[in-house]
Chains A and B, each alone.
Chain A
Amino acid sequence: MSNTKFSKEHEWITLDGEVGTIGITKHATEMLGDIVFAELPEKGSNVEKDGTAGVVESTKAASDVYTPVSGEIVEINQSIVDDPSKINADPEGGAWFFKLKLKDKSELDTLMNKEEYDKFAKESSS
């Protein structure tokens, strides 16, 4: 997935036309540990780049989920709310968090590509 971009807050986004799918990275789930609770934004709500757009809780602590770009939430993944352990199992695939209609595609330019993110994740965890 070469068109996947990553944020410093450990979210990923893939773009399909005007709609971006957003989730948290495998690296994020490894840092969090077992996720036992997820809260997602409401469908139809508007979120701002770098603003909170959900919460995940592990057995250890709660962490905010940020949106890497601005836009309107068009779909949420209820299956991760019902079974948050899916986030640990498949964070960069089936356990996406929400889809949003991008307000400004140029915001994607501020994000990292896979290679840059892997390097960033490695450095920030060492």
Chain B
Amino acid sequence: MNIKKTALYELHKKHNAKFVEFAGYSMPIQYSEGIVKEHNITRNKSGIFDVSHMGQLFIKYSNDITDKLQEILPTDLKNLKINQSKYSFLMKENGGIYDDLIITRMKDQYMIILNAACKQNDLQIIKNKLNDQNLDINNNLSLVAIQGPESKTILENVVSNVSKLKFMNGENFSFKNNEIFITRSGYTGEDGFEISLPNKVAISFVEELISKGSTLIGLGARDTLRLEAGLCLYGHDINENTSPVEANLKWAISKNRINDNFIGSHQIKKQIEEGVSKLRVGIKPETRVIARESTKIFDEKDNEIGKVTSGTFGPSVNASIAMGYISNSHSKTDTKVYLEVRGKKVPANVCDLPFYKKSYVKGEANV
């Protein structure tokens, strides 16, 4: 299979990107600044992320479609307002997660943003559910995120009136006479926006953002940013064998859907009522040692009680940080645990997520 490129590939190259293969795409892992600097630029100023490898699926709106989507997503779509977005899951029968996604109710359609590695499988599931084999991911569109405290001002200089958007809301705007759709959202723990726009204007749009003071940021810093923000990476922190309840993402299941029927709802209801045996938690090693994915977690009596699913060094918290699943009996904040790294047991503590928190937006948006 040929490795795919996004519409921004040549621009990445021009900015000295180092590329890695990610979900079949050649994507920038970092640029010449390096991961730590790129991370800090996003936290302190503004960073641009090419997330065009993610799938953009548009489904014509109808009451019937809403009902059918509610059978596979645990989200209350009936009360989703026009231009409002929600974080949701494509559910599996066992209560596991086929993918995590953002669904936005646009005026006459739904927009669903899917993970790159899952999008073809997701598409098939949704096609079957909606009984519509013509449904397809829109490959004519790019997806760009701009994140960080100065992003609002920078984007406003390119697209007027975007700063009026509230968190997890979107609207149509225009760029060079092309219709683009912008939501106030992101995956870094910073205020920011995600812009869906035609491939043909992707490079000129990003170049304008750069000229107004933003900087291209690679997937490496995207990972340290999202982990500091306590956000899950599909295929690592959540997968087909972790439920939203076990993943500590119960908040994303709409309250009025808990007793409703959707794929996996029986299992979810049971877990909410009876509790779960494992839970996703934050873990902070007491030293700078990094506990990578699959690191085993032990209790004080040397019993294995879980595994790390993501671990890195967090530049903004200046510490080693990790997330993982741990037996529920040890999931309380400040529980002392031990991580086995290169044969040694490193002391660590269960901690609250996120590791890094900052108020998203003051004034115009509510989180």
Question: Which residues from chain A sit less than 8 Å from chain B, CB to CB?
Answer: 33-34, 36-37, 39, 55, 57-62, 84-85, 88
Contact = CB atoms under 8 A, between A and B. Distances in A.
Given A59-B35, A59-B312, A59-B313, A37 B220 contact: no
Interface string B177-189: 0000000000000
Contacts of B320: 37
B42 to A, nearest CB: 14
* Residues of B contacting A: mostly: mixed
Contact of B35 (A34, A55, A57, A62): A34
B289 interface: yes
Contacts of A59: 35-36, 220, 223-224, 312-313, 315
B30 A84 contact: no
Given A55-B342, A57-B313, A59-B220, A36 B289 contact: no
B220 A60 contact: yes
21 contacts: A33-B34, A33-B35, A34-B35, A34-B36, A36-B313, A36-B315, A37-B288, A37-B289, A39-B289, A55-B342, A58-B35, A59-B224, A59-B312, A59-B315, A60-B29, A60-B220, A61-B292, A62-B292, A84-B288, A85-B36, A88-B34
Contacts of B35: 33-34, 58-60
Given A36-B313, A59-B224, 20 more contacts: A33-B30, A33-B34, A33-B220, A34-B34, A34-B37, A36-B290, A37-B288, A37-B289, A37-B290, A37-B320, A39-B289, A58-B35, A59-B36, A59-B220, A59-B223, A59-B313, A59-B315, A60-B29, A60-B220, A88-B34
A59 B32 CA distance: 15
B139 to A, nearest CB: 29
Interface residues of B, number: 18
Interface string B306-317: 000000110100
A114 B30 CA distance: 29
Contacts of A37: 288-290, 313, 320
Contacts of A60: 29, 35, 220
A96 B365 CA distance: 50
Nearest to A61: B292
Interface in B238-292: 288-290, 292
Nearest to B39: A59
A64 B320 CA distance: 18
B346 to A, nearest CB: 11
Nearest to A34: B36
A42 to B, nearest CB: 13
B298 to A, nearest CB: 20
A39 B290 CA distance: 11
A62 B320 CA distance: 13
A88 to B, nearest CB: 8
Contacts of B223: 59
A54 to B, nearest CB: 11
B349 to A, nearest CB: 18
A60 B313 CA distance: 9
Contacts of A58: 35
Nearest to A38: B288
Contacts of B30: 33
A36 B342 CA distance: 17
